[in-house]
Structure 1
C-alpha cells in the first residue's frame, strides 16, 4: 500500500475578489460578501499571493474527499461573489389561478388547487425572490441559500392525495444560471 505524503489543491483568486482567512473564510467581491467556517482537522487552508491553498498530510480516504468538498465550496463562494446564482421557476396551473406574492422572508401562494388557506415558503439567507407573471426568479450570492429557497417553494406546492400525473399544478424549476 502506497500512501501519498501530502495532497495539495490550489484555487486561483480572480481579479477584484478579496479573500480573508481567519477562523472563518470571508470572500468579498463585486456582488457581495460570503463568510463560512471550514473546520475539518486534517485540511489546512492558507492564502498565497493570488491563490488559496488546501493541504492535507498523510491523507486517508475521508481527508481526500474533504479536500475536494472544501475546494468545491470555495469555488462556489468565488462564483457567487463575482457572477451570482440565478434560478428561474415557472408557475403552472390548470384550473385554479394561483397567485404568488413575496413578503420579506416569506412567499405566499394563494388559491393553490382552490384551497382556502394560503401555503407558505421561506426565503433562506440573502436570497432575493421576484415574481413577474408566471415566472419566479431567485437570485443571490450563496448557492446553498438560493437552492434551499427554490426547494422550499417547490415543496410548498407539492400535491398530496391526488395523482401528480393528472394534477400537475405547482411551481417548478426551469433553469439555473
Structure 2
C-alpha cells in the first residue's frame, strides 16, 4: 500500500548547528562535524524549519518508506556522533599461538594468527581512531558507520577459514558497543 504523503520532523538538540544544501546535511557539534549526502533519495525533500529538520515525501512504496525512515535515523545518529561519538570494543582471543596486533597508519596488522607467518591487514576508515589496550582493541569515532565498518574489517581480517570453529576459536571479536557521552 502506498503512503500518499509522509512528513516528519527531527528536533535539533542544543549545541548543534545544522546546514542543509540540497540533499547534503552538515551537522556541527562540540566534538566535530559530519557531512552526509542523501542525493540518492530523489523522492525526499529535506529542509530546515525553525529548530527542526523536516523530511517530506509523497506517493511512497514500501522501499521508499523504509529509505525515508533510514534517512531520519542517519540524521539522529549524526547528532549523537557530534555530541559524543561511538566506541566499539574488540577482544583478541587465542588458545596456543599468541596473536600479535599492530596499528600502522590507516591499517591494523594481525600476525601469528593460529601460527600463520603472513600478515593479515584490516583497513581503518578515515576519521576513526583505533587503539590497543592489553587484549582489547578500542575503535572510536564520530561517524557510526565508519566506526562499525572499521570494527567489522578487523573482525573479518582475523576470520579463520577451513577449521572447525568449535575447536579453533582464535580471532578478534566485537564484544561491546557504546555511545560516548
TM-score interval w.r.t. the shorter chain? over 0.9
Report whether the alignment pairs 1:15 with 2:22: no
Any stretches of 5+ residues in structure 2 without a counterpart?
none
**Equivalent position of 1:170 in the other structure:** 171
Scaled by the length of structure 1, the TM-score of the pair is 0.94
Question: What value does the CA root-mean-square deviation take over the aligned residues?
Answer: 1.4
Paired residue secondary structure (1:58): strand
- Residue 90 of structure 2 contacts residue 136 of structure 2 at CA under 8 Å; is this kept in 1? yes
Question: 2:93 matched to which residue of 1?
Answer: 92
Shift of 1:5: 4.3
Partner of 1:42: 43
Task: Provide the rounded CA distance (Å) in 2 between the counterparts of 1:4 and 1:69.
Answer: 16
**How many Å apart are 1:4 and its aligned residue?**
5.1
For residue 120 of structure 1, report the CA deviation from its aligned partner: 0.7
List structure 1 runs of 4+ shifted beyond 6 angstroms. Answer: none
Unmatched tracts of structure 1, length 5 or more: none
Work out the number of aligned pairs and report it. 176
Distance 1:126 1:20 in 2: 21
CA distance in 2, matches of 1:110, 1:158: 12
Summarize the alignment of residues 17-36 of structure 1 with structure 2, pairs less than 5 Å apart.
Answer: 17-23=16-22, 24-36=24-36
For residues 64-111 of structure 1, the C-alpha deviation after alignment (integer angstroms, 9 at most, x for no partner) is 222101101111111111121100110000111111111120101121
Higher strand residue share: 2
In 1, the alpha carbon distance for the partners of 2:118 and 2:9 equals 52
